[in-house]
């Protein structure tokens, strides 16, 4: 584990304080970006949108926001359009616990919000209803 890695809770606090409100690439990497196909200058706006989503599920009982961190990815599917996702990762083991996209870009599920989980079904099928909306993802985490 990276000793400088922050918990989801700490990252949300930094976001709320405006620490990630810059187009500077190093700032955006610090915010959580690990892979992207979009322009570097697009990451700032994406960070804002994704942290607003993360804040909606941060108090879930399905994970401990003080024992996980988040990673952001801008995905480029073979059949579809660029789309963003984030992973909730165990800070001790670096295991991805959940993979979430607020709006999928793959042709067969374009626009759907989806959540997949390791412990629930080893990422085989979405854990929210399909076709899913963001409110379904929130419902999954908050129920």
pLDDT tens digits along 35-70: 999 999 999 999 999 999 999 999 999 999 999 999
Residue 3: pLDDT over 90: no
Residue 1: pLDDT over 50: no
Q: Residues 33, 77, 73, CA angle at the centre, nearest 5°? A: 10
Q: In percent, how much of the chain has pLDDT > 70? A: 97
The chain-wide mean pLDDT, for the chain, equals: 95
DSSP reduced 3-state for 112: coil
Q: Are 81 and 67 in contact (CB under 8 A)?
A: no
**Greatest pairwise CA separation for the chain in angstroms:** 39
Mean pLDDT, range 18-31, rounded to an integer: 97
Give the N- to C-terminal CA distance of the chain in Å, as an integer. 30
* Tally of CB atoms within 10 A around 101: 24
Residue predicted with more confidence, 68 or 130: 68
Q: Residues 88, 92, 97, CA angle at the centre, nearest 5°? A: 25
CA atoms of 87 and 11, how far apart (whole Å): 14
pLDDT at residue 40, rounded to an integer: 97
């Amino acid at each position: 584990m990276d000793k400088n890695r922050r918990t989801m809770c700490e990252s949300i606090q930094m976001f709320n304080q405006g620490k990630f409100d810059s187009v500077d690439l190093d700032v955006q990497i610090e915010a959580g970006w690990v892979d992207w196909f979009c322009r570097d200058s697009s990451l700032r706006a994406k960070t804002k949108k994704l942290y607003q989503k993360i804040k909606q599920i941060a108090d879930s009982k399905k994970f401990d926001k003080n024992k996980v961190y988040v990673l952001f990815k801008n995905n480029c599917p073979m059949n579809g359009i660029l789309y963003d996702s984030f992973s909730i990762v165990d800070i001790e083991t670096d295991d991805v616990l959940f993979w979430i996209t607020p709006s999928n870009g793959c042709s067969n599920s374009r626009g759907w919000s989806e959540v997949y989980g390791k412990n629930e079904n080893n990422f085989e099928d979405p854990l929210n209803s399909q076709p899913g909306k963001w409110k379904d993802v929130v419902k999954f985490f908050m129920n």
